[in-house]
Amino acid sequence: MNQVHLNEEQFQDYAITGIADPGVMQHVAGCARCQMQIKAYQTLYSYIREAETPTLDFKTDDLIPERLPAINKEDSEEAWYLYGFLFGTVALLVAGLIGFWGTIRWVFMDITPFAIIIGLLLLSGILMTQSLEMYRNYQKKLTALNRKEIAT
């Protein structure tokens, strides 16, 4: 028989897996001291596994904030950066147009009302797609709650 006792790490691993090198297994089979240590770990693990799960002594509803959707939107920093950037760009363009109207007005002289309508339609289309995209992202996150990957 292998005379060397198992070390602490080996006790812990053996108690979890129940497997070890043949030499180690042989030693354990004939060593009461090592057997006791392994049994102690196995008992410990079973105590932890079977321990009662603590339960929160208050209602689940208490944990859901009153202003749920507002909270979701107000703090989305990235979205605010994006909006800031878009707004800034539009503001700069408008300021540029007003400031240099005298020099660049000829560009707009030949645009027909039809082209203006098309332009406005395009712009609102882009804005709507953007908002829809944000809404879908938000829904996607909530749908994720139904996935199995969430610990039950």
Partner 1 sequence: MDGDRHAAALLVRRTEKLVAQIVFKMLGNHPDRKDLTQDIYLKTFRYLPRFRFQCKLSTWVAQISYTTCLDHLQKYRPELTTISAGEELLLSNTCAQEIAGDIPDASQLLSIKERSVILEKLSTTLPPVYRTLITLFHKEELSVEEIRDITGLPVGTVKNYLFRARKVLKESLLNHYSKEDL
Residues 31-70, interacting with Zn ion (CB under 5 A): 31, 33-34
How would DSSP label each residue in 106-121? HHHHT--HHHHHHHHH
CA 65 to chain CA mean position, Å: 19
In whole angstroms, how far apart are CA 128 and each of 35, 122, 123, 132, 133? 70, 10, 9, 6, 9
- Total residues in contact with Zn ion, by rule CB under 5 A: 4
Q: Burial-class residue 20 by CB neighbours within 10 Å (0-12, 13-18, 19+).
A: middle
The sign of the torsion formed by the CA atoms of 13, 18, 21, 25 equals positive
Residue 24 lies near partner 1 (rule: CB under 8 A): no
d(CA 8, CA 14): 10
Compute the least distance from the CB of residue 17 to partner 1, in Å: 13
Residue 17 lies near partner 1 (rule: CB under 8 A): no
Residues 68-107: x where in contact with Zn ion by CB under 5 A, - otherwise, as a string: ----------------------------------------
Residue 147 lies near partner 1 (rule: CB under 8 A): yes
Compute the least distance from the CB of residue 57 to partner 1, in Å: 8
Compute the least distance from the CB of residue 27 to partner 1, in Å: 18
Site residues (CB under 8 A) for partner 1?
8-9, 11-12, 36-37, 39-41, 43-45, 47-58, 60-65, 68-69, 71-73, 75-79, 137-138, 141-142, 144-147, 149-152
